[in-house]
């Protein structure tokens, strides 16, 4: 759960304030009842640590109403198809096209794995609806670091246009 908590923090915060244009969708495949989709769009002001975000995740997964968090049984392909209605969807992978030649303007969504990787069955199902595969380089990085770097690149493209 620490990977998800850290990723949520990196996705929803920049250096100064909470991002208002982000929806974090985590697909949780671990016990006790996988798969679960965790949607996070807002963090309470006190939630600035992995521990506090982890507690919020735990509450949401147990069915407690938590502002800015929602959990439901995951139907991964349906989730990605919904995302595709409004955003371009890209897989982040070391073998993809370099981010240096990627246009970060517009509505983008990124599919990232954790240290275990994206389940092969899910990857096979979603590959046909992807808009492309991009890479941050030949080395694998922590998911949270990738999110922070992607946010930085998207912020730069906003300020340049």
d(CA 127, CA 147): 20
Beta bridge partners of residue 111, listed in sequence order:
91
Please give the angle made by the CA atoms of 111, 139 and 92, to the nearest 5 degrees: 15
d(CA 114, CA 17): 26
d(CA 77, CA 129): 10
For 39, the token pair is 């949607």
| pTM score, whole prediction | 0.89
Rounded alpha-carbon distances, angstroms, from residue 119 to 27, 28, 79, 126, 144 = 11, 11, 15, 11, 19
All structural domains of the chain, each given as residue ranges with its CATH number in brackets, are 1-74 (3.40.1280.10), 76-161 (3.40.1280.10)
d(CA 44, CA 9): 11
- Would you give per-residue pLDDT tens digits along the chain (161 residues)? 889 999 999 999 877 788 888 999 999 988 878 889 999 999 998 888 999 999 999 999 999 989 899 999 988 889 999 999 999 999 999 999 999 999 998 899 999 988 888 888 889 989 999 999 999 999 999 999 999 999 999 888 877 76
d(CA 4, CA 66): 16
């Amino acid at each position: 759960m620490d990977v998800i908590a850290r990723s949520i923090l990196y996705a929803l915060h920049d250096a100064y304030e909470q991002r208002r244009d982000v929806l974090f969708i985590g697909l949780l495949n671990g016990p006790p009842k996988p798969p679960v989709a965790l949607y996070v769009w807002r963090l309470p002001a006190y939630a600035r640590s992995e521990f506090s975000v982890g507690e919020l995740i735990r509450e949401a997964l147990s069915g407690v109403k938590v502002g800015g968090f929602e959990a439901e049984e995951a139907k991964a392909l349906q989730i990605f198809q919904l995302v595709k209605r409004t955003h371009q969807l890209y897989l982040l992978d070391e073998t993809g096209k370099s981010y240096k030649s990627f246009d970060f303007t517009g509505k983008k969504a990124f599919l990232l794995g954790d240290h275990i990787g994206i389940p092969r069955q899910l990857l096979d199902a979603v590959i046909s609806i992807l808009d492309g595969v991009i890479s941050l380089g030949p080395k694998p990085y922590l998911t949270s670091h990738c999110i922070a770097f992607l946010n930085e690149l998207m912020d730069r493209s906003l300020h340049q246009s």
